[in-house]
Amino acid sequence: MVASSPADAMLHAPVFVHLRTYGCQMNVLDSEILRGLLAARGFVITADEQAADAVLFNTCSVRDMSERKVLGKLGMLTQARTRRPELVLGVLGCMAELNGDELLRRAPQLDFVCGTNQRQHVPDLLYQALCRRVAVAPVTRHNAAQLERLRLALNGHAPPEPQARIVIGLDAHSTVDERIAVRLQPWRAYVEIMRGCSNFCSYCVVPYARGPEVSRAADDIVAEVEQLVACGCRDVTLLGQNVNSYGKDHGEGSDAFPALLRRLDAIADLCWLRFVTSNPQDISDAMIGALAACKKVCPQIHFPLQSGSDRVLQRMHRRYRCADYLAHVARLRAAVPAMMFSSDFIVGFPGETDADFQATVVAMEQVRFASAFIFKYSPRPRTAAARDFPDDVPTAVKEARHQQLLALQNAHTLAHHQQQVGTRQLVLVDGPSKTNPAMLQGRSAQYFNIVFPGTAQLAGSFAEVCITHATPLTLYGEQLP
Ligand code: SAH
Ligand code: SF4
Ligand code: F3S
């Protein structure tokens, strides 16, 4: 709309929202859905925190460090509030779900909190917080114009209610259309196939932060993927804390997830299909059969082992032994020879001895993961491990084990990368490389990070690249004609 007077321009001035995301892919997807919901209600999403009228944090609680990062940043912004008293601060996601009330008590500078299963209420909560803050912020010479803009933008102009169309996620308040409007990389998408987790691994806060496992209907998932593909998506990653137990909460058997993979594999213009996370305790023959049969399912699996010691696995409430895990890896490799494995590991779990740790080293040597995330154990409130076991591995030992596994993993990653030198790789291009904008960056089917010279117009399309050299982080190559 063209403004006809300065007052009119103010009336239609947008309200800017900056949303910061911490944590796992679930949060990345929740943030995308939130941006869609907010945009549909008339808010303007900005990458510029300084220009924002509201800064929202989509938070993670999985380790103490994850929470401290958010609290540190929140403290900095609270100081910024002295200069901009109208700035609204909101905490969403796992920290809000677990500790929302306490956060509000301990950080009165927070305007609102909203837990993981309430995301559809964020636009309303934000709107109310903006109205409250405009009313209470003391007017200074610096913020008078900005306050007036907010006042005019909000006064009696509640953004319109969203229309419910195709349901995304598990609530009826967001739609694929809204989400598609804000996607920055239309060629890749996460799709939630289930929320929550009912596994209660003894160290893990996720079942408390996300609630029990709830699967979405397969028809809804297929409809969502079809719509994303119609809008140019080529690479879909299905999300769930344990995709192998998809459908079990509805009484379905272990073939529910493989059946879903087969349906999605049949979508014509979808090129690549991935999923995360696959818990070793629930992997089935039907699943392995589907991986071999579905040509679009990428030869890459995140398959977290956590520890190579059966004693530790048992205390972690992981329901497999290391030998079971290795047998699954062998069967997966037999079914899909190109399969690349990645894993998560926790070092310094309570009671972990040198022998336990050594068992993890041996398992890593046996599997030779393409990549792995290695974490130092962090006791989390409410979890069984924090309740039942003292955090007794000394910090220096945790640190030394962490460094040892990181070094081993780096060597394995580099070896995998070096094996790719001389091969041709199909790459879905994401755009200019972040570290060297003169080059393009993309991902292969096996999720290798590939960098090569090319023009930015290639973003979102496939390129064939011959790999010329490798580092622990990246494969470099030349585009083939
Ligand atoms: N659902 C996934 C994991 C989600 S959490 C799975 O079962 O594999 C991601 C990773 O964080 C976990 O795999 C684990 O390695 C790590 N993690 C979770 N809780 C932790 C804690 N208390 N301390 C250290 N690492 C933890
Ligand atoms: Fe946490 Fe275990 Fe659930 Fe994964 S499966 S989210 S590690 S409780
Ligand atoms: Fe963190 Fe919540 Fe994910 S605790 S790891 S953002 S589910």
pLDDT tens digits, one per residue of 434-456: 989 899 999 999 999 999 999 99
Closest ligand 2 atom to residue 279 Cα is: 5
Specify the pLDDT at position 167.
43
Query: 281 with 325: CB under 8 angstroms?
Result: no
Our mutation pick for probing the ligand 2 site, out of 63, 205, 241, 349, counting the most ligand atoms within 8 A of Cβ, is: 241
Q: How far is the CA of 204 from the centre of ligand 3 (A)?
A: 10
Helix (H, G, I), strand (E, B) or coil at 102: helix
Q: How far is the CA of 204 from the centre of ligand 1 (A)?
A: 6
The tokens for 435 are 């570290």
Q: How far is the CA of 206 from the centre of ligand 3 (A)?
A: 6
- Which protein residue has the closest C-alpha to ligand 2 atom 5? 199
CA atoms of 348 and 350, how far apart (whole Å): 6
The tokens for 310 are 């059966």
Which amino acid would we find at residue 439? M
In sequence order, the 6+-apart residues with CB closer than 8 A to the CB of 306 are 201, 312, 313, 316, 318, 343, 344, 345, 346
- Cα(first)–Cα(last) distance of the chain, in Å? 46
pLDDT of residue 31 exceeding 90: yes
CA atoms of 144 and 84, how far apart (whole Å): 10
Q: Is the CB of 209 under 6 A from ligand 3?
A: yes
CA atoms of 407 and 340, how far apart (whole Å): 19
In sequence order, the 6+-apart residues with CB closer than 8 A to the CB of 251 are none
Among all ligands shown, which has an atom nearest to the Cα of 63? 1
Closest ligand 1 atom to residue 203 Cα is: 22
pLDDT of residue 354 exceeding 60: yes
Matching residue, tokens 């990345």: 28
The tokens for 228 are 């994303």
Specify the pLDDT at position 270.
98
Q: Which H or E run includes 345?
A: strand 340-347
Q: How far is the CA of 115 from the centre of ligand 3 (A)?
A: 12
What CATH class is the domain 6-154?
Answer: alpha beta
Positive or negative, the CA dihedral 186, 193, 19, 23 is negative
**CB-based pocket (< 6 A), ligand 1:** 62-63, 203-204, 206, 241-242, 277, 279, 304, 306, 344, 346, 375, 377-378, 380
CA atoms of 168 and 431, how far apart (whole Å): 27
pLDDT tens digits, one per residue of 233-242: 999 999 999 9
Closest ligand 1 atom to residue 241 Cα is: 1
Confidence of residue 316 (pLDDT cuts 50, 70, 90): very high
Among all ligands shown, which has an atom nearest to the Cα of 383? 1
The tokens for 280 are 């070793």
In sequence order, the 6+-apart residues with CB closer than 8 A to the CB of 13 are 149, 152, 153
- Which protein residue has the closest C-alpha to ligand 3 atom 7? 206
CA nearest 216: which of 156, 176, 181, 271?
A: 176
pTM (predicted TM-score): 0.94
Q: How far is CA 403 from CA 313, 327, 374, 375, in A?
A: 21, 28, 9, 10
The tokens for 283 are 């992997």
Q: How far is the CA of 57 from the centre of ligand 3 (A)?
A: 13
Closest ligand 1 atom to residue 62 Cα is: 19
Q: Which of 136-145, 158-167, 201-210, 384-393 has the lowest mean pLDDT?
A: 158-167
**CB-based pocket (< 6 A), ligand 2:** 197, 199-201, 204, 206-207, 241-242, 279
Query: Any idea what the Cα angle at residue 478 is, between residues 472 and 481, rounded to 5°?
Result: 150
Among all ligands shown, which has an atom nearest to the Cα of 405? 1
Proportion of the chain in helix, strand, coil states, percent, rounded to 5: 45, 20, 35
CATH code for the domain defined by 299-419: 3.30.750.200
All structural domains of the chain with their residue ranges: 6-154, 185-296, 299-419, 424-479
Q: Which residue has the higher pLDDT, 373 or 167?
A: 373
CA nearest 202: which of 97, 322, 307, 115?
A: 307
Mean pLDDT, the chain, whole residue set: 90
CA atoms of 463 and 440, how far apart (whole Å): 10
Specify the pLDDT at position 164.
40
Among all ligands shown, which has an atom nearest to the Cα of 60? 3
Q: Quick check: do 185-296 and 299-419 share a fold?
A: yes
Q: How far is the CA of 353 from the centre of ligand 1 (A)?
A: 20
Closest ligand 1 atom to residue 201 Cα is: 7
Specify the pLDDT at position 8.
53
- CATH of 185-296 given 3.30.750.210, 3.10.20.30, 3.40.190.10, 3.40.1640.10: 3.30.750.210
Question: How many C-beta neighbours within 10 Å does residue 157 have?
Answer: 13
Q: Is the CB of 60 under 6 A from ligand 3?
A: yes
CA atoms of 198 and 208, how far apart (whole Å): 9
CATH code for the domain defined by 424-479: 2.40.50
pLDDT tens digits, one per residue of 39-80: 888 888 999 998 899 999 999 999 999 999 999 999 999 888
- Which protein residue has the closest C-alpha to ligand 1 atom 24? 377
Specify the pLDDT at position 188.
97
